[in-house]
Amino acid sequence: MDKGYEKEKFETIKIKTSVAKRFRNYCRTISKSQSMTLHHMVDFFEINGISPEDNLGDTIAMLKGQIIKRSNAVIAIIKNIEKLHHKPTTAILQSLFEETASIEKEVEDDFGFGQPKLIAENEELLYYKKEYERIKDENFKFRKLMTNFLNKINHEKRHFGNDILKLKLDKIDFDNFRKSNNV
């Protein structure tokens, strides 16, 4: 149903059969009802001040000419901006980059890092394997330490108030645990 026109009644218009078929097909392609399609068409003609008999070919050719003139004007403005603004700025930036590149090259020469030492693939694999094993051992030790620590925690029920967790560990052992784990 068309919004705002639900309560209006329908009128009939006499239209030739071939024109009615074309109109119905057009309404289906734009997914509008016949009433709303005709309403929008009349609005278009009224808003733009044209009639269906007007020849838009001359108007379109005139508009194309205006568009071409405007685009040529925009191109001229852009070329002018390039000449007056971008090229000098680009030259200044390029000279700055060249200067910093020469300074960086001098600094690199001063440090004398030399060529990096290339490592064989087997040496690299051996290094990563050792690191993996070391981290695996550290993880195992930490898990064992945490398991022992958590085993020393007891749950105590209280008659009044919330239940509590109690750590069965003397102060010296607790301080040693904190120091050894950087806590």
Provide the β-strand partners of residue 125: none
Q: Is 164 strand, coil or helix?
A: strand
Residues 143, 146, 152, 155: is their CA dihedral positive or negative? negative
Q: Using the predicted structure, report yes or no on whether residue 102 has a pLDDT greater than 70.
A: yes
Which of the four pLDDT bands, split at 50, 70 and 90, describes residue 160?
A: confident
Structure tokens at 133: 């094993």
Q: Residues with Cβ < 8 Å from 79, sequence gap 6 or more?
A: none
- The pLDDT assigned to 91 comes to 78
Reported confidence tier of residue 12, pLDDT bands at 50, 70, 90: confident
What 3-state class would DSSP assign to 9? Answer: coil
Does the model's pTM come out above 0.85?
no
- Phi and psi at 155, nearest 5°, equal -100, 125
> CB neighbours (10 Å) of residue 34?
16
Q: Could you tell me whether strands 164-167 and 153-156 are parallel, antiparallel, or unpaired per DSSP bridges? A: antiparallel
Helix (H, G, I), strand (E, B) or coil at 129: helix
